Amino acid sequence: MKASSLRYLLKEGLRNMWRNRVMSFTSIGVLTTCLLIVGAAFLLTVNVNSMVKYVEGQSEMCVYMKEGLSEEELSQAEAAIKAVPNVKEVTFISKEEGLENTKESFGDEGYLLEGYEGEDNPIPDSFVVKVDEIEKTRDTQSALQQIEGVDIVNASGEVADTLSYVQNTVITLGTIIIIALAIISLVIISNTIRATIFTRRKEINIMKFVGATNSFIRVPFIVEGFALGLLSALFSFLIIWGGYSYLVGAFSTDVSYWLQSAFDSVVPFRQVALPLGGFFLGTGVILGVMGSLISIRNHVKV
């Protein structure tokens, strides 16, 4: 095929998009909506993951040791703690450091603990343990409890449970939404284009009788599907960019403290812009072109 013919078919595809602008508009609307919902599900998943990571980073277990352990017993216990699966980081807090920390946390009332230094120090030796995966907190906790010389293990098990439940739910729901929408949008797009094809079937027939090859007839439709996908991807990207930035902005100006801290774990848009944009572009174009091909499949044969 000559370059001039290719140029003609390209222009023809774009012109057809304008000639059938009502259908084009509908297709873009449907595709954009689908991409937006999938994009929102993606952003939600990414943020929940990030929030879980953030909380995981913050959450620590405190392993309090029994009184009167020797230096050697303590280092044996430390080695045992490090050997427990899921343990990421272990920090030793001596009785003295523990007392200092407690005093500090009492603030102005810190003087109440004056005089408890040395022999009378009620704070036991302890280890602060950070874990890899928060959902395994309970298993880790009971493993730590078994270690020789360990008195009490403090961990916020409920937070861990809730968090991992939320995470799993969001990931499952997100996956279902994404798969379902991919199928739904493909069906809608091909039906939308099929409707235009139906009105254009006559036109295709005429072209066949003038001696147009199948590819000559197909190329404009492919161009049209491609352009519809491209425009939908662009619109979706702009809308989700605006919407997300607005939400994040609303978050960051909120005065309440815990929202502020949750904001720390919100993923900034520029971090997801590339994968999201790539996903929109790829999905939009693939769905657009596939929709076109599916819908002309039955009509090209004469």
Partner 1 sequence: MGELQAMIELSHVSLKYDRQTSALEDVNLSVDEGEFVFIVGPSGAGKSSIIKLLLREKVASSGIVMVDGVNVGRLKQRQIPQYRRKLGVVFQDFRLIPNMTVYENVAFSLRVTDTSNKVIRNRVPYILNLMGLEKKAKRFPHEISGGEQQRVALARALVNDPPIIIADEPTGNIDPELSYEIVELLEGINACGTTVLMVTHEHEMVHHFGGRIVTIEQGTIARDEVIEKGGARQ
Tell me the per-residue interface mask from 247 to 276 with partner 1, x by CB under 8 A, - otherwise.
------------------------------
Q: Does 208 bind partner 1 (CB under 8 A)?
A: yes
Cβ-based neighbour number of residue 208 at 10 Å: 17
Which range of residues in 22-30, 37-45, 188-196, 203-211 is near partner 1 by CB under 8 A?
A: 203-211
User: What gap in Å lies between CA 72 and CA 55, rounded to an integer?
Assistant: 34
Which range of residues in 63-71, 77-85, 198-206, 252-260 is near partner 1 by CB under 8 A?
A: 198-206
DSSP 300: S
Q: Which of 64, 92, 116, 216 binds partner 1 (CB under 8 A)?
A: 216
User: What gap in Å lies between CA 230 and CA 290, rounded to an integer?
Assistant: 13
Pairing between β-strand 150-154 and β-strand 87-93 as defined by DSSP bridges: unpaired
> What tokens does 182 get?
């991919």
Type of residue at 132: D
Q: For residues 27 and 189, is the Cβ–Cβ distance under 8 A?
A: yes
Q: Does 223 bind partner 1 (CB under 8 A)?
A: no
Q: Which of 79, 83, 166, 206 binds partner 1 (CB under 8 A)?
A: 206
Q: Does 201 bind partner 1 (CB under 8 A)?
A: no
Which range of residues in 42-50, 60-68, 81-89, 208-216 is near partner 1 by CB under 8 A?
A: 208-216
Which range of residues in 130-138, 153-161, 213-221, 271-279 is near partner 1 by CB under 8 A?
A: 213-221
Tell me the per-residue interface mask from 283 to 302 with partner 1, x by CB under 8 A, - otherwise.
-------------------x
Cβ-based neighbour number of residue 70 at 10 Å: 9
Q: Label residue 123 left, alpha or beta by phi (over 0 means left) and psi (-120 to 50 means alpha).
A: beta
Q: Does 1 bind partner 1 (CB under 8 A)?
A: yes
Q: Which residues in 7-26 contact partner 1 (CB under 8 A)?
A: 8, 16, 19
Q: For residues 43 and 35, is the Cβ–Cβ distance under 8 A?
A: no
